[in-house]
Amino acid sequence: MTGTAALSRRSFLVASVAGSAVLSLDATVVLAATSPTAAADVLNAFVRIHADNTVTIGAKNPEIGQGVKVMLPMLIAEEMDLAWDQVHIVQTDADEKLYGVQTAGGSTATPRNWLPMRQVGAAAREMLVMAAAARWGVDPATLTTANGAVLQASTGKSATYASLAKDAARQTPPDPAKVKLKDPAAFKIIGTPKPGVDVPKIVKGEPLYGIDTRVPGMVHGAVVKCPAHGGTVASFDDAAVKAIPGVLGVVAVNSGFVPEGRNDTLVIVADSWWKASKAREKLAVKWDDAAVTGFSTAGYEADAAKLVAGSPQTSVFKVGDPDAALAKAAKVITADYEYPFLAHASLEPQNCTGLFRDGKLELWAPSQSPANGRADTAKFCGLSPDDLTIHLTRIGGGFGRRLLNDYMVIAGQVAKAMPGKPVKVLFDRTDDFRHDFYRPAGWHRLTAGLGSDGELLAFKDHFATFGTDGKPVRAAQMAPGEYPAPVVANVDLGVSYMATNLATGWLRAPSSNAMAFVFQSFLDEVAEAAGLDLPELMRRTLGAPRELPGERAKFHTGRARGVIDAVCKSAGWNGRQKGRGFGFYFSHLGYFAEIVDITMADGAVKVNKVWVAGDIGAHIINPLNALNQAHGCVIEGLGQAMIGQKIVQEAGAITAENFGDFALMRIDAAPAEIAVEFVKTDFPPTGLGEPALPPVIPALANAIYSLTGKRHRRLPLEVI
Amino acid sequence: MSVSFTVNGRKRSVEAEADKPLLWVLREDLDMPGTKFGCGAGLCGACTVHLDGDAVRSCQTPIADAAGKQVTTIEGVAMNETGKRVVAAWTALDVPQCGYCQAGQIMSATALLKQNPKPTPDDIDGWMSGNICRCATYLRIRAAIRQAAGLPAEIADASALPAVGAAGEQLA
């Protein structure tokens, strides 16, 4: 471990009226240089030791189904030497000054917290040991801990953590950077299956989610938003709406999309959401949207075709002389690939509950990024960020949608307009589809040149996407290290931008979910031209195990090779075989290789089985949840590819109304089997919410090619 | 209008517009938020409840249609034997990810097993295809239904945890 620890050496204990004790550790830790965040990260873990020797552990990150509410407390409990059945997990509020970063995004929770959360647990354990040593007048080195107790083997003495908690709090807290961590061989909790902490409540229908928030006296808001993104309210007539008994009023707000001083959203507030929702048809609105109604899917497609045929506006990576190399190549392969805008379609529609009183705003927010939500909401409400209290609810699906906080910004302004009245703002499904932050579409013209021996000599891509002033819109970036760029001598990754009025955003495995399809499908074409299969082309281009530099993370060719070999072995891959396809991708620090097995019936694809091999480091912290995440990634990727998912835009507005227009994968299309294998390597563990998704898409497209001979170069694949 | 019906064995009476969906009566008027709003169009299954024993989409059931009938929701599904087995299997196999759809999944699965106690894999997929799970917990849903039915839950992930390190080579 490297780095220095600047400590706020503060520890205190409070005896509560219930006879419990609070042991609070507050530490500022600089993460090890191996961490992908690599910058100073503030954390504070909250541990409460109760009189009955149960221990409450605060789970700081938003839970969107990725299992973080169990995973982070596992790290603390492990190093504290607790028995898992002693542990009681509670969701903390949003407070980054107290808890450190609280974001559910980028598969970052594991790499960011692996060390600091364990340090918090280990520091707490050390203070309990010191307390026992002082009480017994013995050398702390003679003491051990297990199952929430300190023990001295030679004398048989033991004391529960509960009996030591008050003394422990008077100990000088250790330096978290120097505290002794367990030898992984001694792990008892990390690496063992732990079920979801909220499952017993979920199966009983107990309130957990943002939409379930109930505050006494609460009223409800339904939204009316300008259909064309970026349009604003010119005028509205709410007389007919206000005449409905139970309707309290209409509030005009800015969801954060449009310049300050303009509004793009009207919220009808009533004593029932059903009533508010129904009242929307009586609201007459004139929109100022002339500047944004010209945008359409058809327009983008026509513009993209012109763009990719010309020269790139800019280049994100260039090396060697690709044009000269192509002129000398024995074979040149070229192909165009494209993919559409996508919605997130989390099953819990966007919502947030707010209460403004005495100049302070309290929010119940299903947000993946509450710190950003705090800043944005404060700005649009004209409040100081410190005036906001944010309670984190369980979240009915994130997928990146809730990294952007329009629902908080809206609810905050409505609450502020109705002081003293708690108000829950809820989108309906159509609002949710039509006012998302979409995965941006993209168009690629790819060219590869092979030498007479099949060596990949040159590689070019011209990527047409969305941007302004020479910069991509959110989630439209192409990384300079997009494989195979780092291993080819002559490369040009060029980009051209066009305008859109749509707000774009991160969809699970952002950028990677599209790039994997484009690059791994095209490399399957290149491999065939070289007389190889894709795993073999990958092995040859990866070369010897080594680290390649990357913009955000280094890419280890040996780890890539490890998962490629593992998945080929488990699936019995023996070269090109009808109905089998392969894909590899590295994203979010995880290496994944996947093989898809399909058959076709009546022109439709049936996925029989998917093999997954992943390398996310030395430990799978919670294997029970890890399987669930891998399954979810695979099926979501298949859903993006094979059931027609595409967001269509006309006259500036999104056409999708409900799940009939934008399908989600259903159980009858899910594979019968997904075989997941984790390849363990001696690297710190990293996240699993995303990296298993990207490779399944090219694996499916390549499987269809192997079976039918038809190369699909556009998502969604035309197979339904 | 005033509507009387039975929810999870308890007689309830509400004042509501006749076209107000049962979903919103449960959530707003009876403070029973276990039944979930997903699409409002009968397409996702998140709002599934039992009406006189049949699985229905409560977002498409005007409250007037529930008058005098027996409603069972997720809050009460474990009061009957089949529902209890389904809930136990869901818990044992750790089915949920985000969990938002799972009330509807459990209600649909319970209705399936009541009328088809030993469903085939095709029966399960056919019956459950009206319920979307955005997180895609489908393999565990299949396994949990089979376990609740007393059938071998031979789905790979129900019996085997990942082979950590099985194929790994240590890298320096």
Assess contact for A364 and A377: CB atoms under 8 A.
no
**pLDDT at position B154:** 57
Residue A338, SS3 per DSSP: strand
pTM of the model: 0.93
Asked if B160 reaches chain A (Cβ–Cβ under 8 Å), the answer is no
Which residues in chain B are classed under CATH 1.10.150.120? 77-159
Q: Provide mean pLDDT across the span A423-445.
A: 98
**pLDDT at position B159:** 36
How do the residues of chain B divide into helix, strand and coil, expressed in percent and rounded to 5? 40, 15, 45
**CA separation, residue A286 to residues A221, A225, A235, A289 (Å):** 20, 11, 5, 9
CB contact under 8 A, B98 and A559: no
Tell me: the pLDDT tens digits for A174-229?
887 899 999 999 999 999 999 999 999 999 999 999 999 999 999 999 999 999 99
Topology of the domain covering B77-159: DNA polymerase; domain 1 (1.10.150)
- Residues linked to residue A558 through DSSP beta bridges, in sequence order: none
Select the residue of B24, B98, B171 nearest A396 (Cβ to Cβ). B98
Asked if B166 reaches chain A (Cβ–Cβ under 8 Å), the answer is yes
Q: What is the largest CA-CA distance in chain B?
A: 73
Within its chain, how far is the Cα of A221 from the centroid?
A: 28
Distance CA A697, CA A715 (A): 9
Least confident among A6-10, A110-114, A272-276: A6-10
pLDDT over threshold 70, residue A36: no
Q: Provide mean pLDDT across the span B49-77.
A: 98
Assess contact for A505 and A440: CB atoms under 8 A.
no
Q: Provide mean pLDDT across the span A51-66.
A: 93
CB contact under 8 A, A659 and B171: no
Residue-by-residue DSSP string for A28-77: EEEPPTTSSS-SEEEE--EEEE-TTS-EEEEE-S--SSSSHHHHHHHHHH
Per-residue 3-state assignment (H helix, E strand, C coil) for B10-74: EEEEEECCCCCEHHHHHHHHCCCCCCCCCCCCCCCCCCEEEECCEEEEHHHCEHHHHCCCEEECC
Distance CA A671, CA A150 (A): 49
Q: Provide mean pLDDT across the span A34-47.
A: 36
Q: Which residues contact B137 (CB under 8 A, 6 or more apart)?
A: A628, A631, A632, B95, B96, B97, B102
pLDDT over threshold 60, residue A138: yes
Q: Considering only CB atoms, which chain B residues are within 8 Å of A678?
A: 162-166, 168
Tell me: the pLDDT tens digits for B145-172?
999 999 987 554 433 443 333 333 322 2
Q: Considering only CB atoms, which chain B residues are within 8 Å of A570?
A: 167
CB contact under 8 A, B38 and A347: yes
**pLDDT at position A170:** 75
CB contact under 8 A, A667 and B133: yes
Identify the residue with better confidence: A558 or A551: A558
- Residues linked to residue A598 through DSSP beta bridges, in sequence order: A607
Distance CA A572, CA A552 (A): 34
Distance CA A687, CA A154 (A): 42
CATH number of A10-202: 3.30.365.10
Q: Per CATH, is A210-286+350-426 categorized as 3.40.605.10?
A: no
Which residues in chain B are classed under CATH 3.10.20.30? 2-72
Q: Considering only CB atoms, which chain A residues are within 8 Å of B166?
A: 677-678
pLDDT over threshold 50, residue B95: yes
pLDDT over threshold 50, residue A39: no
pLDDT over threshold 80, residue A551: no
Chain B interface, mutation test: which of A70, A202, A573, A625, most B Cβ atoms within 10 Å?
A202
Among candidate residues A25, A50, A312, the one with its CA nearest the CA of residue A169: A25
CB contact under 8 A, A204 and B74: yes
Asked if B38 reaches chain A (Cβ–Cβ under 8 Å), the answer is yes
**pLDDT at position A570:** 97
Residue A528, SS3 per DSSP: helix
Q: Would the CA dihedral through B164, B169, B170, B172 be positive or negative?
A: negative
Asked if B156 reaches chain A (Cβ–Cβ under 8 Å), the answer is yes
Residue recorded with tokens 């220095």: A4
CA of B65, closest CA in chain A: separation in Å? 17
Select the residue of A395, A569, A679 nearest B98 (Cβ to Cβ). A395
Q: Considering only CB atoms, which chain A residues are within 8 Å of B102?
A: 202-203
- CATH level 2 (architecture), domain B2-72: Roll (3.10)
Say if A210-286+350-426 and A311-342+438-708 have the same CATH topology: yes
**pLDDT at position A602:** 84
Confidence of residue B6 (pLDDT cuts 50, 70, 90): very high
The count of CB pairs under 8 A between chains A and B is: 232
**pLDDT at position B117:** 98
Select the residue of A275, A428, A627 nearest B162 (Cβ to Cβ). A627
CB contact under 8 A, A65 and B96: yes
Domain edges within chain A: 10-202, 210-286+350-426, 311-342+438-708
Per cent of chain A over pLDDT 90 is: 86
Q: Considering only CB atoms, which chain A residues are within 8 Å of B99?
A: 65, 196, 198-199, 202, 208, 394, 396
**pLDDT at position A176:** 79
Q: Provide mean pLDDT across the span A513-521.
A: 98
**pLDDT at position B157:** 45
Residue A571 sits at φ, ψ, to 5 deg, of -90, -5
Q: Amino acid identity, residue A193?
A: P
CATH number of A311-342+438-708: 3.30.365.10
Q: Provide mean pLDDT across the span A502-513.
A: 98
CA of A157, closest CA in chain B: separation in Å? 38
Identify the residue with better confidence: B94 or B168: B94
Please provide the average confidence, as pLDDT, over all residues in chain A: 92
Among candidate residues B138, B140, B111, B139, the one with its CA nearest the CA of residue B127: B111
Rounded (10°) angle between helices B121-128 and B102-115: 130
Distance CA A317, CA A462 (A): 11
Q: Least CA distance to A215: which residue of chain B?
A: B31
